[in-house]
Structure 1
Amino acid sequence: MIRISKDLTDKGIKIVCQVLKKKKPVEMKIPLFLNPVEFLKNISPDEMETLNVIEGLWQEGILQEEDNTYIIPYEFLYNITEDQRRILCLPGEDNTIRLHIKAKGILGNSDFTLIPDIYIKDEKMGPLDRRIKNVVSHKGCLYLIPLNLYSLLNEIDAYKPTADPLLQAKIIAKVKYKAKSANVTFDKFLESEEVYYSEKLDVDIVKHSDDYIQIVPILGNGIDSLLKDDKDKVLKQHNTLYGEGIKRKRIFLEDRIVQNYNKILRQGHLKGAQIPRFLTDPYSILPEDIDLSNFSKRVKELGLRVYRANPYVNIERDKDSGWFDFEIGGIIHEDTGLDLDEDGDNTRENALGDNGKIDVNEYRRLVQKAVESGEDYVNYKGNWIKIDREQASKFLNIVDNESLVKTQRIDITRLPYVLKIYENIDNLEYNETALSLKKQLTGDFSISDFRYPMYLKNCQLYQHQKEGFLWFKGLYENYLGGLLADDMGLGKTLQIISFLCYLKECNAIKPTLIVAPYTLLDIWESEIRKFSEITSVYRHMGYKRYRTPELLEDYEIILTTYETLVRDQLLLGQIDWQAVVCDEAQKIKNTTTLTTSAVKALKARIKIAMTGTPVENNLGELWCIIDYVQPGLLSSYQEFKKTYQIPIEDAISNKSETYVEVKNRLLNTIKPVYLRRAKDGILSLPAKNEFFSEVELTALQEKLYCQLIGDYKNKGESKSPLGVLQKLMELCAHPRLIQDDGEGNTSQLLSESGKLQRLIELLNEIKRRGEKAVIFTHYIKMQAILRKVIMDVFGINCPVINGNIKGDRMSVIDSFKESSGFGVIILSTRAAGVGVTITEANNVIHYTRDWNPAVEKQATDRVYRIGQTREVNVYYPVHKQ
């Protein structure tokens, strides 16, 4: 029997788990695998479910170990799900709680203070009740104060008595501000006080003309209407306004808000080239905590967009001679950083024409206009175009010196020389033929050319990883970028690290930038340190991050997030990076987002993108990623759409045979800069065997199944069909997921579910082979039943992962990996996401199925990936039709 106690302490809710052994309570440890198996023998599924939830909170970092006790800090109670609260009998936010706030003492005297009266179900807290931070004990029950009310109470708790009337008025203003979204009433005195406060700042945009826009700071809470006659008024932390009569209105603001408000007020009048500069880098004026989502919509409504123009080389082979048709000019793409297309659709028409191409003379005029104005932005046909003056001047000098403007055709023997000249120009856009010819200058690589980079350690590369390394090396030597789109689990990260080791060997790694989602930064840093001798690594994020290029340039590798890159694009855009690597490159799949713009604006000798899903919704996403690694290869988006996207989509819709032809043409076009291998084509991986095992419903399951269907037919209109389907799925897993039949021993649990019986048969087979198994199910109750039954049948304490894995929570998985012989681990399907690798197991059992096949495949790939040396068996126990 398990006994779980919960006590209120100063720091949080103390959780104590005890097991009765010889009638004496013995404390259990978290995570549960630290306890002897006998501690968990003969406990009920409900008790096991409770322990699993406690362990899950530990995995998520909510349950914290402190002085040999386990504490849930009070502020973390808001992060606990409804199911977790129910199972642990923890208090949830109670919307019946309200506050009445009254003033005590005289304003201006030191005895002035605010008194909050707390009401629960319209009953005022009495002398026997107790509040600790956000938890109230009332009549023997615990209640969690809603977050907005707790924030208000924190302000009152933090107030220190003072005789300063300004500070007294400020606390009144802050409390009344927070009360706007809470269940609060005030006494007559506080109600009559006209004081205003705001803790956030928003912005709006006003378009006065094509050449003049204004960024307007917005404070909300009625303050802006008070300032309507003083829109350009510089604010202070305390502002007093007088209206009709002697009634005063006072506005209180924090110093951070005041500074940001006044900065926008000063710098918000944008004219000429300031407009596109702001639109591509809004954080050059706006503070970091401004939410740009609503602002982007307003920008879209006003039709404000920015484009970029890069030099362009187009080469077409003449079939009848050894000559090439040679065309040079510029190509224009959209460069607006703000997310102007909410649905992620790239189908908007280019305002500058179908393909965005301009001839060299037109491009020269734009460049000359930029040089004369001293600006990087020029107005062209009513739109703002970004020109990199240094790059453009270098390009035009080469063009003029080589007399290429007059040359319509060029000899093949001269072409390599021309391409060599161009390769040192940043962001030069090439067409397909030009890129193919550049690639041919060094010839195709051979695996026999591979040698391990000097600074790579603790690993042996598979053949496809060696090929990936050589591919990167060839790209680098030819001044090309690349998209590595290998299937998940083939070791993309290690291929990148091996290439970075090569750059270090060439003394060409400093500085390199790796951009990745926050959740992957730990993995990147760990893998770099594990597999390389690169030690100069800096994580660029947070308020204390470096703000000058010189400090960053001193590191070999900088790790940052996409969000930080957006905020620091002006800083990071100044640096001449040796390499820029974008992990999970689907983050830059939309042409008009601020993230995409910030990434494409970076300067680098080689630009690399990594993603196992280069196309999630439409082919426009592939175009956008390729346009980052190698601008111009797929021409403008509009031309790409006409040439590839629409024909492929139409062919799929019409089931036409032209699909394969157009698809192959697209793949051949991007072949020089695109590398994708599927696991099925990698010889070094063992086979994957899938088994769909049919199971019968038990008599109890059949009975309940018929009841659910009959109940739906009788009350179909009032019931959601999806809700019924969910219940049927739970029933097929185990009847106890939809009804409670008491505690139930293992024999009863097995007799009630055909799928559970089949699972035990599978595990017996796996045990005979001395192998490990991973079981996937997202039902918490089912995880508890599985853990109990497996413990009673096999005598093993199998770990359960049902929370987000953070830091040392990986010790749960590590313990499973390191154990010898037969073993089982239970994982929540979606919790087994990025960063979890369990190649020590070679059996996967999807006890319950996920709605999304991609999620299920990702779960399987936790086992079936690089490092797996045995055949992998994937089992799907399913019920007969």
Structure 2
Amino acid sequence: MGLFDLLRSMVSGDNNEAEGQSGFIHRTDSSGVLFYLDLAELNELKQGNGPAQKKMQLIALRMLEEQGLAEPMANGFHVSSENIAGLEEDHAQVIGLPARFPGQYKTEIHGRTGNSGFRVSASVDVDGQSVPYQLKGPFLNLTSSEVYRLTPAELFALKALEYHQNLPAENRGESENLQLMAALQTAQKNGMSLDLGHFEKLDVAIPEGIGVTATRMPDGSLFLSPNLGDGSQPDDLDRRWAQLDFESSTGGALRIGRRVVLLEPEKVEAVKEVLGNRRIPADKVKEFIQTPSAFLDAALVNLELGFSVRVQGVGKLQHMEFGEADVKKQDWFALDKLPAPPEALPSAIQSEEELTQFQEVLSAAWGQGADTLTFNGETFDVSDKDTVTKQIANITEALRHPDRREPAPGDDAPASQEKLSLVLKEAEELHEELQQKALKSTGTIEPDWNNYARKPFPHQKEGILWMLGLIDRARNENPDDLYRLQGALLADDMGLGKTFMSLVAAGEYLSRQEKSGKQRKPILVIAPLSLLENWEDEVGVTYKGAPFKDIVVLQSGRDLTKYRVKGEKREAIQMAEILENEQLLDEGAIRYALHIGPDAGVKRLDMERRLVLATYQTLRDYQFSLCRIDWGMVIFDEAQNIKNPNTLQTRAAKGLKADFKLLATGTPVENSLGDFWCLMDTAQPGLLGNWPTFRDTWIKPILAADEENRDAVRVSLGQALRDAVGPFMLRRVKEDQLTGLPSKTIHCGVPQPDSGNVVYTPTLSSIMQGQQRHAYEDVLKTYRQQQATEDMRGKALAVLQQLREVSLHPRLRHEAELMTDDPAAARRVMCESAKLQVLLETLDAIKGKGEKVILFMVTKRLQRLLKLWLDQIYGLDIAIINGDTTAVAKKSDVLSRKQLIAEFESLPGFNIIVMSPVAAGVGLTVVGANHVVHLERHWNPAKEAQASDRVYRIGQKKPVTIHLPAVLHPEYDAFDVHLDRLLRGKLMLKDAVVTPEAVSENEVLKSMGL
């Protein structure tokens, strides 16, 4: 691998080596670290026998295996250096890896970059002395016993140094030398403490591709210039092309002031290709615009293929402001119960009049021997007279000299860096015209069900005919009309078969295109990573003979490498700093990273009748390439992933060119009614108008309503909005469509109001005591003290997370102390937490019934500990499925999510599986379980409901029970109570359009009064 390749594979990891410890043995090889045990001991450990530390390490290594970050070996696991470097800190500690190097790195640079004698040597700074090091895998070895684990940036830089040092002198040309400096600069920018001397002022850049800038001349001809895609102007570059040696096989470099642009050999060839075809005669301009590949080699130069009619161009991603509903203030930190320290007095006393009033109240309080007093509605601790007197003196001085007050923290926060995205044309409201088009599309020819492997349920047949009616109309509309009928929202409840209905519609689309003599364009499915395997499987069980030429999974580890343009980076990382002011980017500067269009040959992605499966991240990363393709259908599974118009993936979704877009989601409203507008604006531009129109029509009336009437107004407007969308949305719920589903009951440990579908169950709650109560109150007191003198807006959410952790277990951050290999000791450790004590009682009851349960939680540390404890207590081998678990089966022994669930369900009787509601909340079916415990409740009640409904689907035979355990405080409302109250407020608005809203970060802050 050359240094250009090394620069392109910027590592994303972090780790180190240690040997001889009591856990797994570590050995470093040329590509990473091997963790191993004696085979007999490892087998014993897998059977649940052995010390707690090794059990926990096995759990951690298996989690890495499930994430695709570790490869199983005969007697252990192998983790690559890059993956070792990317481990989370607590995970690295569990598997016994060394600490990071706390010091700095020094470099000595010898010679000039233009000659072969150039070299860079590095050392580490230890107490002011330069000490040599040895790079061994992902570890920094200073001595045989002093070993540190490298950060991603350090590993990247030291690998680049090692590569350069091993080059023969004759190969150390200017290009290779400058590539090394670019690598070191990249590492420095990513956090490595590295002194580069005068090279810190040198900006080294590596273009991702070569495009073309066309300038129209007075005679009508075009003058072509190579475009580096970095903002360099053609005139500046024209004066510097002579610096390149076009016969060199190692690339070249352009010097532009203090800036150096490195060009790989293929990029030099691309420049040469454009410079050799600089002028397009006036009579050939039209032909050039239509078929640029007839003039330039598309394998070398990125050429235009054309965006959809909605795409205006490429420019800066512009943020769109969304209004949020008011949130009732909640006292999350028990501020009303705890007196404020004297340091809080300056914020309560803002004038000389208030100071005089306070001094009078203070004098009376001290005269009565009181330790607290109330002023301006807040209680203060005044027991320390010296501290209070000092604060009064400070306040007096500040009121006399207001100009000396320090500015509030955070005033000078830097603006976030903007990125490039598709610039879209705003859709004006053409509601009635589009409604009429849709209403005329209701009649359609029914599919020949003999072509399909199974017959649809009645509700599925209804849904398929609804889709086909709209698709038939869309296929015959003018593709250049922005307001043509072009998409719809399938908002069916989870478990009704949206994937099956979508695949039938896709097959019928291809069949009808063929019968009409039209092109059978490729089909694109965008879905979360966890569902790609499910889509592949569903193709096999939906058709008797698949209508697709083939299936391409555009994902790392599958087919993405085959269709990527060699050497090109992801398109999403192009930065908007190359734009001037608000101009659109010259499309010739865009670098396309996928092989698309007729000139791609056998590598072409967009082949007829091809089914392409991709994730939302892939859509974001390759937005320009995917938006150039003329798709037949685009299906967005779990379409709530494109609810936010301020994300690149949403912009790309809106810009995709297709005959028909189908958005499928059971939760089209996750954060606000703005979500619903964004989804409908993607499916059918013009139906609800642009955002200002929608906001004025549907959002502002809710905000303007009195608080006591706001829910009623919201529900009323939600119903009206459903009517406005009309035939462009289909929404059905399981209870109405499926007969024979068992009952579903939600039990909560927090007292509930009389209304609602949640049952208050006192046995699911317990009062925190002892160490847990002490730890919880310590967090509150610390916050109270900090709040007196600091701006807590940037810290309140972090403190809230501490309260959540303590509510789970008071010693959760001290993982090593909680490891035990004794079932009785495991129960004792769990019972230090009132919530985990309730969990044990719930699991014991479920075990008594011989039934299965899913435990939902987000915190990985808790996932590991619960597996360790519950495996011993119940004699199980619990699987963990979280946000990183591999979603697609690979050739190794790594189990996919579906395989893990199948193993869980196959065990007779009682069993437990641990899941994250974020990862497992979509697309998975686990009807073998009929109990769900939300140990950590998700901030989004829609996601919580999605996660719960993994067990409440077609095929479930037993009554389903959802358990919401809670830990309470004996004196004031604890974290679980506040969270339930906030989520319940959202659930009360369930009838607004289709689903409840989520709790946003801003709403949490508002609920704290921040």
Asked if these proteins are the same fold (TM beyond 0.5), I'd say yes
Comparing 769-778 and 537-546, the one that deviates more:
537-546
Corresponding residue for residue 721 of structure 2: 666
Which letter does structure 2 place at the counterpart of 1:136?
A: L
Which letter does structure 1 place at the counterpart of 2:58?
A: L
Q: Distance in 2 between matches of 1:86 and 1:143?
A: 12
Which letter does structure 1 place at the counterpart of 2:722?
A: L
Q: Distance in 2 between matches of 1:776 and 1:242?
A: 56
Q: 1:83 to 1:852 in 2, by over 3 A?
A: farther
Q: How does 1:255-654 map to 2 (within 5 A)?
A: 255-256=265-266, 258=268, 335-336=312-313, 338=315, 340-343=317-320, 431-432=431-432, 435-436=435-436, 439=439, 453-457=449-453, 461-479=456-474, 481-503=487-509, 510-517=520-527, 519=529, 520-532=531-543, 533-534=545-546, 536-539=549-552, 541=560, 542-543=563-564, 546-548=595-597, 552-560=606-614, 561-563=618-620, 566-568=623-625, 571-573=628-630, 577=632, 579-586=633-640, 604-617=658-671, 619=673, 621-634=675-688, 640-647=694-701, 650-651=704-705
Corresponding residue for residue 748 of structure 1: 828
Corresponding residue for residue 789 of structure 1: 869
Q: How does 1:829-868 map to 2 (within 5 A)?
A: 829-868=917-956
CA contact (8 A) 2:669 2:675 kept: yes
Q: 1:87 to 1:289 in 2, by over 3 A?
A: farther
Q: Distance in 1 between matches of 2:926 and 2:694?
A: 41
- 1:12 deviation in Å? 1.3
Q: Distance in 2 between matches of 1:782 and 1:252?
A: 47
- 1:773 deviation in Å? 0.6
CA contact (8 A) 1:337 1:592 kept: no
Comparing 194-203 and 7-16, the one that deviates more:
194-203
Q: Distance in 2 between matches of 1:106 and 1:512?
A: 49
CA contact (8 A) 2:818 2:829 kept: no
Q: How does 1:181-200 map to 2 (within 5 A)?
A: 181=188, 182-185=192-195, 197-200=204-207
1:178 to 161, 164, 183: 183
Q: Distance in 2 between matches of 1:469 and 1:241?
A: 60
Cα deviation code 1:283-340 (max 9, x no counterpart): x99x9999xxxxxxxxxxxxxxx9999xxxxxxxxxxxxxxxxxxxxxxx88455454
Q: Percent identity?
A: 25
Partner SS state of residue 558, structure 1: strand
Q: Distance in 1 between matches of 2:541 and 2:256?
A: 66
Corresponding position: 1:26 with 2:26 = no
2:263 to 246, 250, 253: 253
- 1:70 deviation in Å? 1.2
Q: 1:879 to 1:149 in 2, by over 3 A?
A: closer
Partner SS state of residue 524, structure 2: strand
1:733 to 795, 801, 808: 808
CA contact (8 A) 2:525 2:611 kept: no
Q: 1:872 to 1:205 in 2, by over 3 A?
A: farther
- 1:496 deviation in Å? 0.6
- 1:772 deviation in Å? 0.6
Q: Distance in 2 between matches of 1:754 and 1:585?
A: 38
Partner SS state of residue 540, structure 2: helix
Partner SS state of residue 863, structure 1: coil
Which letter does structure 1 place at the counterpart of 2:549?
A: S
Q: Distance in 2 between matches of 1:871 and 1:525?
A: 31
1:697 to 763, 768, 787: 768
Which letter does structure 1 place at the counterpart of 2:746?
A: E
- 1:820 deviation in Å? 1.8
Q: 1:503 to 1:230 in 2, by over 3 A?
A: closer
Cα deviation code 1:596-651 (max 9, x no counterpart): 67656666554322233434555455445434544544456665555445445545
RMSD: 5.3
CA contact (8 A) 1:96 1:122 kept: no
Higher-strand-fraction structure: 1
CA contact (8 A) 1:337 1:597 kept: no
Corresponding residue for residue 140 of structure 2: 136
Which letter does structure 2 place at the counterpart of 1:456?
A: Y
Q: Distance in 2 between matches of 1:68 and 1:856?
A: 39
Which letter does structure 1 place at the counterpart of 2:597?
A: T
Which letter does structure 2 place at the counterpart of 1:527?
A: E
CA contact (8 A) 1:338 1:592 kept: no
Which letter does structure 1 place at the counterpart of 2:318?
A: D
Cα deviation code 1:116-142 (max 9, x no counterpart): 44545655445xx64224412223132
Corresponding residue for residue 688 of structure 1: 744
Corresponding residue for residue 61 of structure 1: 68
- 1:84 deviation in Å? 0.9
Q: Distance in 2 between matches of 1:602 and 1:583?
A: 15
Which letter does structure 2 place at the counterpart of 1:701?
A: Q
Q: 1:145 to 1:556 in 2, by over 3 A?
A: closer
CA contact (8 A) 2:118 2:177 kept: no
CA contact (8 A) 1:201 1:217 kept: no
Q: 1:837 to 1:123 in 2, by over 3 A?
A: farther
Which letter does structure 1 place at the counterpart of 2:879?
A: P
Partner SS state of residue 471, structure 2: helix
Q: Which runs of 5+ in 2 are unaligned?
A: 1-20, 245-250, 325-422, 475-484, 555-559, 566-593, 749-763, 890-894, 970-1010
- 1:81 deviation in Å? 0.8
Flag the structure with more relative contact order, 1 or 2, with Cα contacts below 8 A and sequence separation at least 6: 2
CA contact (8 A) 2:429 2:690 kept: no
Q: Distance in 2 between matches of 1:594 and 1:714?
A: 41
Q: Distance in 2 between matches of 1:709 and 1:385?
A: 47
- 1:461 deviation in Å? 4.2
Q: Distance in 2 between matches of 1:789 and 1:385?
A: 53
- 1:880 deviation in Å? 3.6
Partner SS state of residue 691, structure 1: strand
Q: Distance in 2 between matches of 1:523 and 1:557?
A: 14
- 1:503 deviation in Å? 4.3
Cα deviation code 1:493-525 (max 9, x no counterpart): 122123234446655693342241462444322
Which letter does structure 2 place at the counterpart of 1:27?
A: L
CA contact (8 A) 2:930 2:951 kept: yes
Q: Distance in 1 between matches of 2:102 and 2:279?
A: 42
Q: Distance in 2 between matches of 1:482 and 1:757?
A: 48
Partner SS state of residue 789, structure 1: helix
Cα deviation code 1:378-429 (max 9, x no counterpart): xxxxxx9999xxxxxxxxxxxxxxxxxxxxxxxxxxxxxxxxxxxxxxx999
Q: 1:131 to 1:741 in 2, by over 3 A?
A: closer
Corresponding position: 1:869 with 2:943 = no
1:798 to 878, 881, 884: 878
Q: Distance in 2 between matches of 1:115 and 1:68?
A: 39
Q: How does 1:151-170 map to 2 (within 5 A)?
A: 151-159=156-164, 161-162=167-168, 164=170, 167-170=172-175
1:824 to 912, 922, 927: 912
TM value normalised by structure 2: 0.61
Q: Distance in 2 between matches of 1:192 and 1:630?
A: 52
Which letter does structure 2 place at the counterpart of 1:582?
A: F
Which letter does structure 2 place at the counterpart of 1:609?
A: L
Q: Distance in 2 between matches of 1:267 and 1:638?
A: 46
Which letter does structure 2 place at the counterpart of 1:770?
A: G
CA contact (8 A) 1:205 1:213 kept: no
Q: Distance in 1 between matches of 2:708 and 2:910?
A: 51
Which letter does structure 2 place at the counterpart of 1:610?
A: A
Partner SS state of residue 72, structure 1: strand
Q: Distance in 2 between matches of 1:95 and 1:633?
A: 58
Corresponding residue for residue 153 of structure 2: 148
Q: 1:834 to 1:108 in 2, by over 3 A?
A: same
TM value normalised by structure 1: 0.68
CA contact (8 A) 1:491 1:866 kept: no
Partner SS state of residue 454, structure 1: helix
Which letter does structure 2 place at the counterpart of 1:475?
A: L
